[in-house]
Structure 1
């Protein structure tokens, strides 16, 4: 197992235990995907709060790990070939952790492909579209006189919720069993509360989706992972 204490990011977020996986994140929908997965898989890790402020995500230390300046990112000291692995993009991290642990990615090639399909659905559709909905419904875009962008993303959110509601009909989880597909999707469903947009998209009418989110939030590992890392960073003194 490699020692990750010599990575540049340690200059701002020093590892207390360099022998375990290091998570650099913030409790946003994308950020909590990884902390929830780590909790569900039982992988030892150390979490560092990287706020969304430019002083953090655009710092030289964080950019040394993720040049795209977005959370989450990880360093795994126990990577392939006994070499440390640096990784960003929440979907890529979920797939890597599932394959590393052998958990939450299905029991065969077909089921694995199906699960990854829904992770990509979240990464390419649900996340970006809900994020735009948040901008135009709650944040700066909500002040624009032209409401066509807001209407466009409300409509797209409804369409995506309809897709999910259909696939969840008669099912407990997205795939045959609980998986990283659920971990990818459910935090973005929860974000509709934060955006104050549940009523606008008619969330209660998507009964299968609403029940899925309730089941997800009842899981102990989810309850823990949603709080990691804390929104307020700990002291960065070495």
Structure 2
């Protein structure tokens, strides 16, 4: 069994089971990508809450795992060739877990890369734009007198939803009949846009019927329902 005690993060968040994958996160739109994936794959793992309220993400122990100070991150005692692997960046973690389990990423090379392109679409567009919209609509940014930033992100969010709606026309999932990491990467963000940031009316979400139906299908999955609440907030 790998010795995880050499990793500084385990001194603050001790593994409950040292032979299991260690997940460090918070149930935010970005964090739940990994918790949903872990629940979907059925991998055994310990979940550790990284509490933003007390700046856990800025602690030396967490920064030793992710120098960027963001969630999510993982520490897998059974990484490639049986050696421990520490990994951050949600897109990279999704790809890693898909390869590790052989699930939610097509084996066919062309479809594999088509799936990866949608994960990159989420990483480069959906996450940053929806997140900025949330800041300017619900959080501190809503007090700013200059509403041009809010409008900028609202317009871009509408555009991205349009891209998604077109891609989902006649499809259950982004890869057709195959639920994949493309869907897992985006479910938390679209759910967050509507149910957490409460920006559905602002961006005309109901007009994007294919996205709305896709979100409903995703939220009906038991693993998604569980993953949206992991790690449990204190």
**TM over 0.5, shorter chain:** yes
Question: Which residue of structure 1 lines up, in the alignment, with residue 211 of structure 2?
Answer: 209
Normalising by structure 1, what TM-score?
Answer: 0.95
Measured against aligned partners, the alpha-carbon deviations of 1:19-49 in whole angstroms (never above 9, x if no partner) come to 0000000000111110110111111111000
Q: Is the 8 A contact 1:47 1:229 kept in 2?
A: yes
Computed over aligned residues only, the root mean square deviation of the Cα atoms, in angstroms, reads 0.9
Measured against aligned partners, the alpha-carbon deviations of 1:35-69 in whole angstroms (never above 9, x if no partner) come to 11011111111100011235310001000000000
Q: Is the 8 A contact 1:5 1:15 kept in 2?
A: no
Q: Is the 8 A contact 1:24 1:48 kept in 2?
A: yes
Where do 4+ consecutive residues of structure 1 move more than 4 Å?
Answer: none
Structure 2 stretches of 5 or more lacking a match? none
Measured against aligned partners, the alpha-carbon deviations of 1:153-188 in whole angstroms (never above 9, x if no partner) come to 110000000000000000000013000000001110
Question: Which residue of structure 1 lines up, in the alignment, with residue 182 of structure 2?
Answer: 181
Q: Is the 8 A contact 2:98 2:105 kept in 1?
A: yes
Instruction: Determine the C-alpha separation between the residues in 1 that align with 2:48 and 2:65.
Output: 13
How many residue pairs match? The answer is 232
Instruction: Determine the C-alpha separation between the residues in 2 that align with 1:82 and 1:196.
Output: 44
Measured against aligned partners, the alpha-carbon deviations of 1:124-157 in whole angstroms (never above 9, x if no partner) come to 0000000110111111111111111111111000
Question: Which residue of structure 2 lines up, in the alignment, with residue 52 of structure 1?
Answer: 52
Shift of 1:107: 2.7
Measured against aligned partners, the alpha-carbon deviations of 1:107-136 in whole angstroms (never above 9, x if no partner) come to 311111011100000000000000110111
Partner SS, residue 63 of structure 1: helix
Question: Which residue of structure 1 lines up, in the alignment, with residue 91 of structure 2?
Answer: 91
Q: Is the 8 A contact 2:5 2:11 kept in 1?
A: no
Structure 1 stretches of 5 or more lacking a match? 233-238
Instruction: Determine the C-alpha separation between the residues in 2 that align with 1:55 and 1:171.
Output: 41
Instruction: Determine the C-alpha separation between the residues in 1 that align with 2:7 and 2:231.
Output: 20
* From 195, 218, 221, the counterpart of 2:220: 218
